[in-house]
Structure 1
Amino acid sequence: MKTLSWRRSDSPVKRSWAHSRTAQLATVALLLCLLGALLAPWLASQNPYDPAGLELLDAFTPPGQEGMAGGRYLLGADDQGRDVWSSILYGLRMSVLVGLSAVALSLLIGVPLGLAAGYFGGWFDNLVMRIADVQLTFPVLLVALLIFGVARGILPAGYRDDMAIYVIVLAIALSDWVQYARTVRGAVMVEKHKDYVAAAQLIGRSRAAILVRHILPNLLAPVLVIATISFALAIVTESTLSYLGVGLPPTEPSLGTLIRIGQGFLFSGEWWILLFPALMLLLLALSVNLVGDWLRDALNPKLQ
């Protein structure tokens, strides 16, 4: 009887996760990627971007073999003698950092604008939605490239590499806030006519309190789903920009930077320099997307 009672007390999200093998595998893969990014300095066999720790004699060492200096490279070494496994961990760390920062900034821009536009309406609603409509006519990558190029042009040449991570986070966030604003606006337009909002108005709650303390908690489910999927898109966008040579500099590598470097050696036989970073990017993006798809279904009341 206690077991049955415990099962009945489970939330729909827990039950959905317990019955979805895909969600379980994706969650485990995502957690492993995040742990690898977090623990990169301890899991990596070397700091691949500390010139003093590199062995140039070990350049192009194939996977699983020992270099001329005596070290064994699980995933091989690149043209500078850097351990590919260590490079992937540090690149994964940078990709995750950029993705999380871009999603957080998009939330800070899109959610307040959506709340205000949906609740107050009028000219502010029209202004925000028209800006969103115009931005949606352009591909996200093109918008990010435009913002990145303008920001890089404004910065002095000596600060461009140092500020590259901030510029790319800003570029991705400004190209992705529209999804949050439109979703939150539509939900607010429904929620503001419900009884609990009318009751809060009757007891004298301010508009800001109604938005933050009453309406916003009811919008967390769709926002969480969008944030999860946007995290994967932000990582792919950053990797694409870095692959095109307009993202992070080689001194602050991401998975996209490693793929761009490895692409130059693919046809000369050093396939591992490209393959393993590409597989890590695929694993990270796929696991985040699968978790996002599961959350979308688990948090949908029509499917419960």
Structure 2
Amino acid sequence: MSWVWTDVFSHPLWAVSTVILGLLLRSQQRGSWDIRACFVQLKGKTAIVTGANTGIGKFIALDFARRGARVIMACRSEARGSAALQEIRKRSGNANVHLRLVDTSSLASVRAFVEGVLREEKELHILVNNAGASGLPGDITSDGLEVSFATNHVGPFLLTNLLLDLLKRSAPARIVNVSSVNHWRGMVNFSHFKGENLAYTMDSVYNHTKLHNIICTNELARRLQGTGVTANSLHPGVVMTEVMRHYNFLVRFLFNLIGIFFFKGSIQSVSLKHHRLCGRHLKVISQNLFSRCL
């Protein structure tokens, strides 16, 4: 009987070795930093986390609450936000967690949210701009902005700038903008803000918005020098969250299938990310992009 190299794929050992390799690769993605090894407490601190009803944002809010912070969950959906709020209060034992509604794709919503914060809060020590989406349709918002740019960049940009004075008065304080290592695939073209000259291929628009995040964060950090407020960008790694929910079923299926072996879970990502959000070293480190939080 003749043997050809393709016969190896039908051998039982191929399936076994593939599974073992996948598990080994997954274990390498987990990282080694244990969130329990960080003893930073946030009692007396106030934090705002956008997109806090699901995924990374939800577990960041939960971790802040466990550390004693006053947490403001900035969410678009009241129903999902309320469910997450009750869960976080129960799991953390911290009743000082609050839900405030904001849609970062709407400048009016952002302004209304900030007005409420300035009216109710005397201090703000941590701002995490986590809310974002990929695969959105190329709609134009009521503000005349392409919806991905409005959601991922312009809204968070406005929110941050409107809260700057409060952050400065609360110094030391920090701003963390969740971006993506795929920013290098993006480009700066201001016509994109109006939905012009955009190619909607996979995550190309998302990558453009993430590049703008990093550029503006770097400039903000430069302008904040000497104020006691730091600003950094953060790439959490590829994480199993709902960021792909706007794509078609096939894309989501493949993403989740590959993610079983190669991507981080939300809890694991936050375990690594928390070091960048609360670490004492960030009192002096600014204008950086932390990649994969390792």
TM bucket by the smaller chain? under 0.3
Return the structure number with greater relative CO, CA threshold 8 A, min gap 6: 1
Q: Which has the higher helix share?
A: 1
TM-score normalized by the length of structure 2: 0.26
Select the structure of larger CA radius of gyration. 1
Q: Which has the higher strand share?
A: 2
